[in-house]
Each structure stands twice: as C-alpha cells, then as structure tokens.
Amino acid sequence: MRVKEFYGAIVGDIVGSIYEFANIKTKDFPMFQRQSFATDDSIMTLAILQALVDMVRCNKFDSATDDEWRELFKQSMQDVGRPYPLCGYGNRFRKWMYSDDPQPYNSCGNGSAMRVSPVAWFARSLEECERLACLTAEPSHNHPDGIAGAQATAGAVYLALHGATKDEIKAYVEKYYKISFTLDEIRPDYVFDHFAATCAGTVPYAVEAFLESTDFEDCIRNTISIGGDSDTLAAISGAIAEAFYGVPTKYRGAVVGRLEPSLRSILTQLPVVDWMPDIPQDGLTPQEAAAFLRTHDNFLILTHIRPDGDTLGCAAALCRVLRGLGKTAAILPNDRTSAGYARYMTGLWAEDGYEPDTVVTVDLSAPSMFTDNAEPYRDRVDLAIDHHIDGGLFGPRRCVYPERAACGEIVYEIAVALGQLTPEVALPLYVAVATDTGCFAFSNTTEETHRVAAELIATGIDYRGANKRHFRTKSKRRIAMEGELLSGLDFFNDDHVVFLTISRSMIDRLHLDEDDLDNVAALGSQIEGVDCAITLRQQENGEDWKVSVRTTEWLNAAELCKVFAGGGHAEAAGCILHGMTLDGVKMAMSCAVCQIRELNRHKA
C-alpha cells in the first residue's frame, strides 16, 4: 500500500508518555493505558508533517529555498502547537512557541530529533533527507548537536524505509554518535537527567533499542525498559521501527483514538505522494481485501446488533458487488432492521438453510456486537471490514481503518478495486457514509469523506431523496418524543453534560419504532454549551440501559464507554449498563465523566 499514514513516532510517544517521569526498568508493561496521551513529541511531529504536506499541495516542494522551508517549519510548529500549552513543552521551547518573533536559541535538546521523522518519507535521497532534517531543527535547535540529532534520526528512518539492514543503519548513525553499548549494560544507570534530554543522550540509545528489537512492539518495549526520557526515546525508535517493520493495525487505532480532531486530521488526510516508498503493515488494504473476495465464493455478510445505516449500507453494497462479479452472496437477516433501511436490503437476505463458505463482517467491531443468529458464525469469520479502533480482532483477516469516518468509505474502495461501483452499489454506500457522519456535519467528517461522497453521487444516485428520508423527515411520533426529551433534560458539570432519557413507557406510549429512535443520540449535542450528551434508552427487560454518548474534544467518548465494556470513537461511542436503576446509571456515568476529566487534567 502506498504510504500515507505516519504512526510509529506517535505510538512510541503515547506509550512512553506515562513513564517519562516514572521510569520502569522492565519490558513487561501494558502498551496503552487509560492515561496514556499524546505529548509535545506527537504534536511537533505532526507539525513537521503538516509543513511537508503544505509544500506538496502548493507545488513548491522542489522550488522552495532553505529560508522558505525554515519559515514554513517554524510557522507550522507554532500553528499546530499553540493550542496545546500543557502538552509538555520545555521552558525555553515554550517561550519560543508563544513568541511573536521566535529565534533559534542554540539548543542541543532532543526536541529536534523527536519531531523530524516525517521528512524521511518525503525525501527522495539521503542527501535531501539530511538537508530537510537540518532545516526542521534550525528554527529552534541550531546547536550542532541539535542538528546532528535530527539528521541521524531522519537518516536512520530513511535507510530503514529503503531496505537497509540493521548493520547499515547502525553504521550510518555512528557517523554522528558512537553506539558501543547494549541495553542491558546501560539499563541500571540510565536515568532522565540533563544529559538524557540532549540529542547525544537520546538518539544513540533509541537507535540501540531498535537494533536489538525483533518487531515493532519489541522495539517500543526495549525503549521504555531503559528509562530516561521515555516518550521522546520511543518516538525516535518507533519512527525507525515503523519504517523497518511496519506498525500493527491495532496500534494505529489506539493512536487515532487519543488524538484531538485537529491533530487527527493532519494524520488521516494526507495526499499520496508518488515518490513515497512502501512499508510493511499488518492487516489488508482495501485492494488486498478485494483480491481476497475475488478468489472466494458463497458469501454470508454479517451486520451488527441494533443495525444502523453504516452496517446495513455496507452489507447491501458489498452483497451487490459480489453478485455483480457472478458470485453467490447473501446477508444474514437482522430482525432489528428499521423500515427506513429495509428498502436497501430487498432481495439480499439469506434464505433459511443457506450454507456459506466465506463469512464477512461489516462495521461489526467486537464479538459482543454479533446478533443472536450470527453466533454460529462467530468463529468462522474470514474477513472483517471495519473502521473501529479494535475492529475485527475476532477474525484472521482484517481490513480496518479507524481514521475513516464510516465503514462505507472502506467498502467504497473495495467496490472500486473490483470494478463494481454501480448506482445500485453507490446508493447504500452513500447512506452508510452520510448516516455515520450526520449528513457530513459530525467532526469525524474528513476531506476523504467528501471525496468518496462525490464519487458516489457521480454515479447518478438519488442522493437528494436519501438525504430527505434520513435527515429531513420525521414522524409525528419522533417530534413528540423530541419534545418530551427536551422538556426533561438533566444537566450537570456546569451544564457541560446532559442526560436524555428514553424510558420503555415513553416508547410504548408514543408507539416509537426503530426509525423514530434512529440517531436520537445527536439531539443533545445540538444544545449550546453541551460538550457531552448522554442518551439513555431503557431496554425491553426494564433493567438494562443502552447508553449513547456524543462529545466534543472536551471528553473522549470511547474512553468513557470503555469503562463500562463499551467502545466506539473519540466523539461517538456506546455501551450497555445492566441491572441498574435510572438514577444508578446516571450516577455511574457522571462519576466516570468526572474521573476521566480529572485524569486528563493530571496528564496535562
């Protein structure tokens, strides 16, 4: 797959974030913990990445002078970094960050090395890589060692990307720093002191952690285990390890869930640059998933419980794609499909007795999301297509991209790869993408989302009719329900959080169906001043509550729901609370919100 994602440095930074001032001397630790977060290392790496992308997009990558590059790197670091004053900047760099006239201050600190890795992917020669690395350092870290640290790191990443051996990478780095030690030799005495905060005290140690590793995760564990400036060390070694090994899909998802939307957009909306090299990665690309589908037959497609437009739209589209190829394909019936979405499923449900050879899931993120009639296929999934952070871990093949706004975006690429983007395929895919983005109004909407929607519209589908059906038409029952919900709002945390409660008595009294209840979770988030809207829907047994959370950057919805064994995305997630009263559910959710907010304040 053509590289357009840069995760290694950020994974390393996030994993190391909680050990920077609490060093551990072991490789036995959880890779990600609830309090793990993106520090200044990640933010500055993304700032450098943004500057490189800007030069590509304005067609000045080759013609820009050194002065123009320095100015752009400086401006990008300030633009990207200023919204995050508490992310961990050193004192001198913080003054530089907020200065109206920032000047280099002869720093030899490791900040130049931690942020430089993206230049290795854009450079077309080692010499160009070294030049760009120098230019990223000079706006602030213009000490010779500050420049050397940036060049050594970027050069190591560049060589790893282009097939160099570990011996060759070590020989290159030793042009700058001697590496004459092992991790076991330094581990007892290596601490986070003044020396460990310099390039000389960081870069060679991070490189040795990579050299002694066996895969990406082992590299990060090596790095954390020696102590020192853990997040910066791991940002450097992680960048090299990504180029050499690739980054497991599950770690890419963990990154996306911990980045604020403005930072996430830098990472996930990158152009494809022709000269970028390929790097290894686990999981399947949409094109590889398409190749798998082309060579198999007799498909059964599974959707998730409480089906929404994304899972049903993807299933309908994929089923039509496979039938268009002359294959046998059907969708396992989902009895919770609402009338509004049933129109897209006509003729696609599997008949009783159908025996599949190949089972595919779409937008089905976890075993707990299987419908009752899908239980016999839980251990038979051949391919999982998803956009949730931990999606598809139950199957041997995963095509998972957590940065995508909807699973429909991934199925779109599969349809294109198989030459089956017909109007019959495009309409349910448009519904999938539109419904998972709130008709392109939610913060998960990206440039790529709009591009996909445009391509789907170009097939001639009646997108206006779909928009009216799903976003601008409400039953009288729905209007009555919204009136009751809005008259019974329950605010707390200085009105940042609001509860909306849908009781069984309301559902029965108003005769509400699944269409009436579709996307009701978005209602609370429309209230001015609300940063966290929690919709509580009482289940049929009267004792369980389905919880839907919609948030802003103020709180990570996935973190909140994960406390109760749920999950989802940073700004939209859900869970189920069992055997609790309404007051008990509100108390549990309120306490969890406060705890997460408090943890985040300590992290900052």
Domain boundary among 430, 448, 471: 471
Q: What is the pLDDT of residue 364?
A: 94
Do 416 and 558 belong together in one domain?
no
d(CA 399, CA 361): 10
pLDDT of residue 2: 35
In a domain, 197, yes or no: yes
Question: Which pLDDT belongs to residue 251?
Answer: 78
**Which among 378, 411, 433 is positioned nearest to 399, based on CA atoms?**
411
Q: What pLDDT does 50 receive?
A: 94
pLDDT at 4: 47
Of how many residues is the chain composed? 604
Quick one: 458 and 492 in the same domain? Answer: no
Do 144 and 174 reside in the same domain of the chain? yes
200 in any annotated domain: yes
Q: Are residues 305 and 348 in the same domain?
A: yes
Does residue 467 share a domain with residue 491? no
Please report the pLDDT score of residue 10 as a whole number.
Answer: 96
Asked if 179 and 173 touch (Cβ cutoff 8 Å), the reply is yes
pLDDT of residue 602: 55
- CB 546, CB 539: distance < 8 Å: yes
Average pLDDT along the chain, 604 residues, taken 10 residues at a time = 66 95 93 90 96 90 95 97 92 95 96 97 95 98 97 97 95 97 96 91 98 97 96 98 86 75 75 60 83 96 95 98 98 95 97 96 91 94 89 84 92 96 98 95 89 97 96 94 96 94 97 91 93 96 94 88 82 89 94 84 54
Q: Is residue 2 part of a domain?
A: no
Give residue 365's pLDDT.
Answer: 87
Helices 203-211 and 144-161 sit at what angle, rounded to 10 degrees? 20
Is 502 in a helix, a strand, or coil?
Answer: strand
The residue out of 245, 275, 305 marking a domain boundary is: 275
Residues 30 and 157 placed together within one structural domain of the fold = yes
Last residue of a domain, one of 411, 443, 471: 471
Q: Hey, what are 498's tokens?
A: 């609001």
Residue 389: give the domain boundaries: 286-471
- pTM (two decimals): 0.57
**What SS3 class is residue 541?**
coil
Are residues 217 and 92 part of one domain? yes
The domain total for the chain is 3
> Do 202 and 118 share a structural domain?
yes
Task: Report d(CA 309, CA 250) in Å as an integer.
Answer: 25
CATH of the domain at 65: 1.10.4080.10
DSSP string, 257-299: TTS-HHHHHHHHSPPPPTTPPB---SS--HHHHHHHHHT--SE
Whether residue 430 sits in one domain with residue 381? yes
138, 47: one domain: yes
DSSP string spanning 95-156? HHHT-SS-------BTHHHHT-THHHHH-SSHHHHHHHHHHHHTTT--SHHHHHHHHHHHHH
CATH number at residue 532: 3.10.310.30
| Rounded distance between C-alpha atoms, residue 24 and residue 17, angstroms | 12
